[in-house]
Structure 1
Amino acid sequence: MDFADRPHAQRAVDPRPARTRAAIIAAIDRLGSADAEVTVAAIVAEAQVSRSSFYSQFRDLDDVGVQLMNELFRDIKRVDAELRRSHQALKATSTSLDMFLAESQRRRGLYTTVLGGNVSSDARRVIHEIVAQGVLASASHSAPRSVDPHIASTFVAAGLLAVFTDWLVAENPVSASQLRAQLIAVLPPWVTGSQTAADRV
């Protein structure tokens, strides 16, 4: 067999970028657990990576928040859809909020900086779009015909992010379970599953 005819060996995937990204995320989590300020300088010091390594993975702190929120909402939309298909709208809402709250608590320092800090509004706009897409996925399952899902999802996402941001920056925030209960109480009935058949027309 000629050399040219031999099957080409696949080049092994370089594991270093994935390790670097994991180290950065782990550093953010440790800084959050220590209630330390989350900055690029603090992250690279905690992760023991160079600034160039950080910027090979993320453009800035905004980008970290956007990427992590995007990953979270991929999981939320999957879980929410499964529960709503099995007619468990209230459980879907509660589980989705719990996932969102857990992520916010786990990385409070990061999201306080991205959503409540003095950074550019681009990250907040993109995160709003991510949340709105998640709400839109729910709306497609349960919104009444009189409700425009796109308008509803934009409205609900804005309210959720405003409440979450206030909660993140509060000096004495209510517990996650209290906040979840309040959000369920004020969300539209078609989201939580408490509407009647007459509401769907």
Structure 2
Amino acid sequence: METKPAGDRRVRRTRAALRRALVELALDKGFQTVTVEEITERADVSRATFYAHYRDKEDLLIGVVRDLAEDRERLLPAVRQAHTEGFTGLPVKYIFEHAEQERDVYRVILRGEGDGRALREFTDLTCRHAEAAFRARTGELGVTPRIPLDIVARAWTGELIGLLTWWVENDTGYSATEVTAHLRDLSVYGRVWATGLTPSDAPGALDLAP
């Protein structure tokens, strides 16, 4: 078995401590008021060590997003296989389960801390993965999208992030499995079906009539 050098393990531990400290402080008092000195004190590392890894607290926050995305990808070994089997909702379920495990980190990101830069980074990363998945799936099946896939991916990502934000901030009563099932059905059957209406009953239907 290949072993990681001790230096790599120390780097990972240091960065994890800094990320944890930032998240705790941001939830306690808000990101804007947090200082690098407070982060280093909470993480029990020196300022020199902090600046050896990050330019400033904003850079650390972006690091939190990217590390979270990488961690989430490591938890998705079945995602591509799931896409080859059809729309199972499995990738979305993993996202909600991951958010359940890392609730505080998701809360800081999804609240838009750091002038929204971290949320934009998180949104863009999620959107790129979604668009790649949609393109792969349509390519495998040889179908032509009815709506440009960049728009589909943005709409899907916005819906996911809106629901995810509500879910991590509140005791919704829905498990990761339940909320995934609802999202899957919404994606497959559409909003009109979800509300129990028919296409002719839907708001705006008369406006769209020829």
What TM-score do the two structures reach when normalised by structure 1? 0.66
Matches within 5 A, 1:1-201: 14-15=7-8, 16-24=10-18, 37=28, 44-45=40-41, 47-58=43-54, 59-60=56-57, 62-72=61-71, 74-75=73-74, 79-85=78-84, 87-90=85-88, 93-94=89-90, 96-143=91-138, 144-145=143-144, 146-170=146-170, 172-174=171-173, 175-188=175-188
The alignment's C-alpha RMSD in Å is: 3.3
Question: Which stretch of structure 1 is more off in the superposition, 73-82 or 111-120?
Answer: 73-82
Question: Which structure 1 residue ranges, 5 or more long, are not aligned?
Answer: 1-11, 190-201
Identity percentage of aligned residues: 20
**Letter in structure 2 aligned against 1:57:** H
- Residues 82 and 65 of structure 1, relative CA distance in 2, 3 Å threshold: same
**Letter in structure 2 aligned against 1:159:** E
What TM-score do the two structures reach when normalised by structure 2? 0.63
Question: Which structure 2 residue ranges, 5 or more long, are not aligned?
Answer: 190-210
- Residues 187 and 69 of structure 1, relative CA distance in 2, 3 Å threshold: farther
Partner of 1:6: none
Shift of 1:26: 6.5
Q: How many residues end up aligned between the 2 structures? A: 169
Higher relative contact order (CA 8 A, sep 6+): 1
| CA-to-aligned-CA distance 1:75-112 (integer Å, 9 cap, x gap) | 46763223323x2431xx32x12221122122222221
Q: Return the alpha-carbon distance in structure 2 between the equivalents of residues 73 and 113 of structure 1.
A: 16
